[in-house]
Amino acid sequence: MCDSCGCAAGGTEVVIGGHRIVPQTGDAAVLTRLLAENDATAAHNREHIEEHGVLAVNLMSSPGAGKTALLEATIETLHREFRFGVIEGDLETENDAERIRRHHVPAVQINTGTACHLDAEMVHEALHELPLRKLDILFIENVGNLVCPAAFALGQHRNVTLLSVTEGDDKPAKYPVMFRASDLVLITKADLLPHMDDFDPALAEARIRQLASAAPVLILSARRHTGMAPWAEWLRSELSALRARVGTKAAA
Amino acid sequence: MHELSLCRALLKLVEPIARQHAAPVSRVVLRIGPLSGADPALLRHAFPQAAAGTCADGAMLELLLAPLRVRCLQCGAEGDAAVNRLDCAICGATRTQLLSGDELDLLRVELQPLEVKDAHV
C-alpha cells in the first residue's frame, strides 16, 4: 500500500504473523485489482477479435428491454452491409440463439446457470465456436441485469445499454454503475412512448449526463423499425474507426 | 448478486500467496468504492461461503470504503459526489473525472504461520 494516501499503487501488501514482508524476486505475482484475471482474459479476447477486424459490442439491459428484438431488427435492416455474429448469454434457455439463427446469423448460446452475468472466460470459450474471419460485427447479448454485467469486462470494444420506455426514466439514477459504463444508450420500444406519459426521454438523458457521461442517447423502436438509421450509423462509424486503428480485414 | 464471483476471484489472488508462504490466511483487506458495482454487505455475506474449505477458511474480511470524489474538467473544482450525481457541484458541468470511487482492490493479505498459532494454544 502506498504510504501517503493508502491507495494500492504499490501492489498488495503481505503480512505474515504481524510482520510486513518485502516481496522478493520470484515471488508469486501479486495482483491488486480483484478482477485482474477476468480483465486479462478480456484483453486476450479483444486481441483475438481485433485480429479479424471485428467490432465487438456488449449489449446490456434489464430483462425484457428488447435486446434480442433489437438484434433481429438490426440483422434485418443491415444484413447486406455487415456480417453479424452473436453470443447469447442467458440463465437457462437456448431460445434467444434460436431466434438469431432463424436469420441465418451464427449464434452461440452461453447458459450461465445461476450466474447473473457473462464473464471473459465464458466469452473466450464461445469465441472458438464462431467464424470470426467471416464476421464484421460481433454482438454479445449479456444476461438481462442492470447490476452485475457492468463489473465484468468481456473483450468488447463498446458497451451499449438499452432502456425501454416501459421501465421509467430514472433508471440511470438507480443503476449508475451500468449507465456510467455505457458508450451508447438506446431508448427502446419508442412505439409505446405515446402511451407512457411518465417516461420523458429528455429526463432520461439528463440523468445520464448527471453521471458525467457523454454517451449519445438514441431513441428507436425495433418492432416498428423506426429510429434505426442513427443506430446503423453509429455501428458503421465504430466499425470504420476500429478498422482504421487495427488495419482492415486482411483476408476478407 | 455477483459478489460470490468476486469472492472467488479474490481467493484466486490470495491462494498463491498463502501457498508460497505455507501459511493460512487470517485476514484480507479490500478497498471498495461506491461505483465498483459490488455491495459491501453482500461481499461480507458471500466471503465466508466462498472461503470455506480454502486457505482462507475462517479468515476475516475487512472492507475499507473508498470515498467518491470527482474533479471538474471545466472549472477544476474537486469535491465529493454521489453515485448518481457525478456532475460538478460547483459549475454544473457534466464533464468530470473520477478521482476515487470505482476501486475494488486487494490491499493486504495477512497470514498466520501455523507455529505462531500453536504457540498461543
| Contact status of A10 with chain B (Cβ, < 8 Å) | no
- Residue in the structure block whose three cell numbers are 423506426: A226
CA-to-CA distance for A154 and A58, rounded, in angstroms?
8
User: Cα–Cα distances in Å, from B11 out to B2, B15, B22?
Assistant: 15, 6, 15
Nearest to A176 among B13, B19, B83 (CB): B83
Q: What is the pLDDT of residues A61-86, one digit of tens each?
A: 999 999 999 999 999 999 999 999 99
pTM of the predicted model as reported, rounded to 2 decimal places: 0.91
Is A36 among the domain residues?
Answer: no
Pull the grid cell for residue B102: 470505482
How big is the CA angle at B119 (ends B117 and B121), to the nearest 5 degrees? 75
- B94 and A27 within 8 Å at the Cβ level: the answer is no
Is A3 among the domain residues?
Answer: no
CA-to-CA distance for A141 and A94, rounded, in angstroms?
13
Q: Which of A13, A32, A34 to mutate to test the interface with B (most CBs of B within 10 A)?
A: A34
Distance in Å, alpha carbon of A10 to nearest chain B alpha carbon: 9
Average pLDDT across chain A, whole number:
92
Res. B40: pLDDT tops 50: yes
Residue A29's pLDDT is 57
Please count the residues of chain B.
121
Is A93 among the domain residues?
Answer: yes
Residue A32's pLDDT is 86
Is A251 among the domain residues?
Answer: no
Crossing angle of helices A36-51/B3-21, nearest 10°? 110
| Mean pLDDT in residue range A156-174 | 97
Q: What percent of chain A has pLDDT over 90?
A: 83
Q: Map residue B34 onto helix, strand or coil.
A: coil
| Contact status of B30 with chain A (Cβ, < 8 Å) | yes
In 3D space, the residue among A98, A93, A131 whose CA is nearest the CA of residue A110 turns out to be A93
Residue A3's pLDDT is 47
Nearest C-alpha in A relative to B73: A212
> Could you tell me the residue range of the domain that residue A174 belongs to?
14-23+52-242
Is A19 among the domain residues?
Answer: yes
Nearest C-alpha in A relative to B102: A177
Q: What is the DSSP letter of B82?
A: B
| Mean pLDDT in residue range B15-21 | 93
| Mean pLDDT in residue range B95-104 | 96
Buried b (16+ CB within 10 A) or exposed e, B20-58: ebebbbbebbbbbbbbbbbbeeebeebbeebbeebbbee
Res. B3: pLDDT tops 70: yes
Is A32 among the domain residues?
Answer: no
Give chain B positions within 8 Å (CB) of A42. none
| Contact status of A172 with chain B (Cβ, < 8 Å) | yes
Do the Cβ atoms of A137 and A57 come closer than 8 Å? yes
Q: Map residue A197 onto helix, strand or coil.
A: coil
Give chain B positions within 8 Å (CB) of A31. 13, 106
- A14 and B6 within 8 Å at the Cβ level: the answer is no
Alpha helices in B22-70 (DSSP H): 40-51
Give chain B positions within 8 Å (CB) of A37. 9, 12-13
| Mean pLDDT in residue range A209-217 | 98
- Starting at the edge strand that comes first in sequence, how are the strands of the sheet with B60-65 ordered? A19-20, A13-16, B104-111, B25-32, B60-65
- Residue in the structure block whose three cell numbers are 515471488: A27
- A210 and B85 within 8 Å at the Cβ level: the answer is yes
- A8 and B103 within 8 Å at the Cβ level: the answer is yes
Residue B120's pLDDT is 54
Q: Which CATH number fits the domain that encloses residue A90?
A: 3.40.50.300
Res. B119: pLDDT tops 60: no
Give chain A positions within 8 Å (CB) of B18. none
Is A226 among the domain residues?
Answer: yes
| Contact status of A202 with chain B (Cβ, < 8 Å) | no
In 3D space, the residue among A121, A154, A117 whose CA is nearest the CA of residue A138 turns out to be A154
| Burial bucket for residue A84 (CB in 10 Å: 0-12, 13-18, 19+) | buried
Nearest to B21 among A16, A180, A212 (CB): A16
Nearest to B13 among A31, A151, A214 (CB): A31
ipTM field: 0.89
Strands B104-111, B78-80: pairing is: unpaired
Is A44 among the domain residues?
Answer: no
Q: What is the pLDDT of residues A124-142, one digit of tens each?
A: 999 999 999 999 999 999 9
Residue B119, phi-psi category: left (phi > 0), alpha (psi -120 to 50), beta (remainder): alpha
* First-to-last C-alpha distance (Å) of chain A: 49
The amino acid occupying position A225 is H
Distance in Å, alpha carbon of A208 to nearest chain B alpha carbon: 9
Name the band, by pLDDT with cuts 50, 70 and 90, for residue A12: confident
Do the Cβ atoms of B42 and B91 come closer than 8 Å? no
Domain count for chain A, please give it: 1
Do the Cβ atoms of B44 and B30 come closer than 8 Å? no
Do the Cβ atoms of B67 and B80 come closer than 8 Å? yes
CA-to-CA distance for B99 and A5, rounded, in angstroms?
12
